[in-house]
């Protein structure tokens, strides 16, 4: 359910998160749970996208950085 555009954006953001934040808690969770099998990875990325959206919401609301994430100085 929800906006198709937002869902696809969150899935793409999930793949980017795995690529650029490989040591974060969310990335470790994904690899431990869905590391094997192409079909399971596609299902898992949707779960990661949901968890990532919640983590980003917490960052915006309370300033809590997702565990293990590395922020770049701007």
pLDDT in tens, 3-53: 999 999 999 999 999 999 999 999 999 999 998 778 899 999 999 999 999
Inside any domain, residue 70: no
Q: Tell which residue, 52, 65, 40, 38, has the closest CA to residue 7.
A: 52
Inside any domain, residue 44: yes
pTM of the model: 0.86
Amino acid 1: pLDDT: 67
Inside any domain, residue 45: yes
Inside any domain, residue 47: yes
Q: State the residue range of the domain holding 25.
A: 4-62
Inside any domain, residue 68: no
Q: How far apart are CA 10 and CA 49, in angstroms?
A: 5
The total number of structural domains that make up the chain: 1
């Amino acid at each position: 359910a929800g906006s198709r555009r937002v869902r696809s954006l969150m899935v793409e953001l999930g793949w980017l998160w795995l690529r650029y934040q490989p040591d974060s808690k969310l990335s470790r969770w994904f690899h431990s749970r869905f590391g094997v099998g192409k079909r399971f990875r596609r299902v898992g990325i949707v779960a990661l996208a949901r968890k990532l959206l919640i983590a980003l919401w917490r960052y915006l609301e309370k300033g809590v950085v997702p565990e293990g994430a590395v922020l770049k100085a701007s």
